[in-house]
Amino acid sequence: MSHRSSFVTSIFCLLAVIGCGDKSAPPVQSVQDTQAITSAPAPTNDPNITRAKLNAHGVPSEYAAEFVDEKLVKINEQRQSVASQALVGEYTFQGGRLLSYRGAKAQQPAALDLQFDLQGTLLSGRGPDVTDEDIATIRDRAQLLRSHALAQRAARGHSDGH
């Protein structure tokens, strides 16, 4: 199993434990070098928006995940670069698939505008300044944020008695 696959598998396991675990147990603080921060931004009045903070691979970020009919459709993220710059990105999803990403590269303010089909094939966005690593990093980050948002949503629904 590749390092990336084992990392993603570890994240899914962590999120499943966070979302469905015994609420009296202390929260899991880290897995490999990813840690979920339990405090979230001030709650929103919109029940379709889930806000949270996440620190993945030493990259602190905050995001707002938008749900329609309990399905995740969009995540707006603001993260810190290694140089402490605020970087933003918008991920759109359909049925668990990343359809587009618009925003900064993972650690640089250079802009990306990636479009994918439902099979995950890149339709547009490749250019001379866009590497395979840039695309893979955004895909991985989208999956991590999606998994975290779904776990946060499930945990909040579970604690609300839904």
pTM (two decimals):
0.72
Q: Which domain holds residue 47?
A: 3-159
Rounded Cα–Cα distance for residues 53 and 132 (Å): 27
Coil vs helix vs strand at 92: strand
Residue-level pLDDT at 156: 80
Arithmetic mean of pLDDT, 11-29: 38
- Is 80 exceeded by the pLDDT of residue 10? no
| pLDDT bracket for residue 52 (50, 70, 90) | very high
- Is 90 exceeded by the pLDDT of residue 2? no
Q: Which residues make beta-bridge pairs with 77?
A: 63, 89
Residue-level pLDDT at 159: 59
Concatenated DSSP letters for 20-86?
A: HS-TTSPPP--BTTEEE-S--SPPPS-TTEEEEEEEETTEEEEEEEEEETTEEEEEEEEEE-TT--E
Arithmetic mean of pLDDT, 83-107: 94
Convert the pLDDT of each residue in 109-124 to its tens digit: 999 999 999 999 999 9
- Is 70 exceeded by the pLDDT of residue 26? no
CA proximity to 112, closest of 132, 97, 95, 83: 132
Question: Higher confidence at residue 82 or residue 79?
Answer: 79
Task: Identify the DSSP state of 102.
Answer: E
The answer to whether 76 and 69 have CB atoms below 8 angstroms apart is no
The answer to whether 116 and 98 have CB atoms below 8 angstroms apart is yes
Residue-level pLDDT at 102: 98
| pLDDT bracket for residue 78 (50, 70, 90) | very high
Question: What is the count of structural domains for the chain?
Answer: 1
